[in-house]
Amino acid sequence: MKAGIKGLIILVAAVFSAASADVIIIPDDYRTIQAGIDASQSGDTILVERGVYHENLVIQGHSLILASRFFVTGDTLDIQNTIIDGDSFDTVIKIGNWYDPGSMICGFTITHGAGYYQGGGVYIENSSMVRNNIIKNNSSSRGGGIHSVGNAIIADNIIRNNHATVAGGGIITYGGSFIVERNIISDNVSDTYGGGIHIEDSQYAIIRDNVITGNHSDSHGGAIVFYTDDEGGLLSGNLIVGNVTESGYGVEFCPGEYDIANNTICNNMGTGYGVFFGQHTTAIFVNNIVWDYTYQQIFIAPSATVTVTYSDVRGGFNGTGNIDSYPMFVDTANGDFHLLAGSPCIDAGDPNSPYDPDGTIADMGAFYFDQLVGIDQGSSAIPEFAGLITNYPNPFNVSTRISFELPESGQAALTIHDLLGRRIGTPINGYLQAGVHNIVFDGSGLASGIYFYQLKAGDRTEIKRMTLIK
């Protein structure tokens, strides 16, 4: 057994679940992953070495962390080279039931699953987290890549080339509140609903900061179908490009209340509508770019209540602040949908929206244009920062240490912002002596997600991103 690795994993596992936890290493302690799962207790970590494991796993009755060495090293080669292959026999990983606490699946390539109903790659039936995996080449009737019926967090995965015969080529969710964030969801296929994501009969759904591209459905929602049973959700900061639907809509919203902000919805194709709002849908649609190859960019059903403002819509759309101008992306041929300098979308968002992290009026689209880049700052009151600003650990659970160095004494302010740019804290605001400074940021009162910390000293500004995972 590798005692050093076990000590580190136990420390991390304690943060995630229980104060007392053991580590099982596969194949050192058990030859198969399932044998390790069966021998584990709640709060344990199962650490899997590189290799190909031909198994169909079931985690039930307790919570655990199932991870490759990526969980320790952060080396993405561990994800690529730790493969769980379902051999097209059943779902690759089934997690829990409604009575179980959640588990974490981290750092694997999950492939060749074939579930009839319960997902091809991963099936979740509790409050589990699936993060930092490659989930590819799986199939099912519902949820080719992932099928969730619980309060799941699906984050930082690559979900590609999966197939569903009914709904949810990449992901399908039923019931529960869930978060899908920072994933690449690409080239998945559904024969009917939701080529990328299909959301049905769920509670509040959060879909943010994903790249959703190249997915295909024959009927509804080449990219996404929202059908949240009147609960609604948030669609924010996503790049939704190059998805195809044969006869329906690119992104479809059915009854519910939705906040749709700062998405780039471009180059999707179909004979219907780019963005479709069905009957009895309520939505606020702001700071988006919609530039599709569809019959109509946005359709709003007669009984829907939708406000479209401060958005760039191809062909135009009535509403305050809307424009009809080519967005001027950097390089769409190579998938770069950042804005070029001079884009009409810069500073064209709702002036009442939270400012962009660079302190300017919100831009339209998923990616703001950083107006601080390239500015000559040689005359700043304080010279450029030595060592810049950083935080550790990142990602973090509850607290993280933010460190920075000032070469000269002067006024400085450290502020914390959420993903929408709203200031949520000011740990430092005053005169500081030259030298290294450290503060511990407490995120215990915040939800899991992406946050920004910004240091201003004189005329200089540095912005960094940190991720809170609970």
The phi and psi torsions of 427 (rounded to 5 degrees) equal -65, -30
Instruction: Count Cβ atoms below 10 Å from residue 170 Cβ, excluding itself.
Output: 38
Is-contact 111 121, C-beta < 8 A? yes
What is the pLDDT, as a whole number, of residue 333?
81
What is the pLDDT, as a whole number, of residue 403?
83
At 96, which amino acid appears? G
What is the pLDDT, as a whole number, of residue 157?
95
More confident residue, 390 or 57: 57
Predicted confidence band at 444 (pLDDT cuts at 50, 70, 90)?
confident
Q: Can you give the C-alpha Rg of the chain in angstroms?
A: 23
Confirm whether pTM is higher than 0.95.
Answer: no
Is-contact 271 296, C-beta < 8 A? no
From 54-58, 357-361, 415-419, 427-431, the region with the lowest mean pLDDT: 415-419
Query: Where do the structural domains in the chain lie, given as residue ranges?
Result: 147-375, 389-468
pLDDT per residue over 85-130, tens digit each? 999 999 999 997 666 678 999 999 999 999 988 899 999 987 789 9
What is the pLDDT, as a whole number, of residue 48?
98
Q: Give CA–CA dist 235/285, Å, rounded.
A: 10
**Per-residue exposure over 439-465, b if at least 16 CB sit within 10 Å of its own CB, e if not:** eebebeebebbbbbbbbbbbebbbbbe
Residue at token pair 């912002």: 417
Q: Give CA–CA dist 120/141, Å, rounded.
A: 8
Tell whether the model's pLDDT for residue 468 goes beyond 70: yes
Q: Give CA–CA dist 104/17, Å, rounded.
A: 10
What is the pLDDT, as a whole number, of residue 178?
84
What is the pLDDT, as a whole number, of residue 5?
37
| Chain centroid offset of residue 383 CA | 36
Tell whether the model's pLDDT for residue 190 goes beyond 90: yes
From 323-337, 378-392, 436-450, the region with the lowest mean pLDDT: 378-392
Going by C-alpha positions, the residue among 362, 346, 348 that lies closest to residue 422 is 362
Q: What is the mean pLDDT of residues 70-87?
A: 93
Instruction: Count Cβ atoms below 10 Å from residue 233 Cβ, excluding itself.
Output: 25
What is the pLDDT, as a whole number, of residue 227?
82
Q: Give CA–CA dist 178/58, Å, rounded.
A: 21
pLDDT per residue over 202-237, tens digit each? 778 899 999 999 999 988 889 999 887 667 889 999
Here the tokens at position 285 are 């649609």
**Per-residue exposure over 71-104, b if at least 16 CB sit within 10 Å of its own CB, e if not:** bbeeeeebbebbbbbbeeebbbbbbbeeebebbb
Percent helix, strand, coil in the chain, to 5, is 5, 45, 45
More confident residue, 375 or 156: 156
Q: Which residues, at least 6 apart from 274, have a Cβ–Cβ distance to it below 8 Å?
A: 249, 250, 251, 265, 268, 290, 292, 294, 296, 297, 298
What is the pLDDT, as a whole number, of residue 201?
75
What is the pLDDT, as a whole number, of residue 391?
79
| Chain centroid offset of residue 80 CA | 20
Q: Give CA–CA dist 424/416, Å, rounded.
A: 6
Is-contact 353 368, C-beta < 8 A? no
Number of helices and strands (H, E) in the chain? 4, 48
What is the pLDDT, as a whole number, of residue 230?
63
Domain 389-468: give its CATH code.
2.60.40.1930
Q: Is 361 exposed, middle or buried (0-12, 13-18, 19+ CB in 10 A)?
A: middle
Here the tokens at position 447 are 């939800």
Here the tokens at position 419 are 């993903």
Is-contact 129 153, C-beta < 8 A? yes
At 386, which amino acid appears? A
Q: Give CA–CA dist 423/193, Å, rounded.
A: 38
First to last CA, the chain: 29
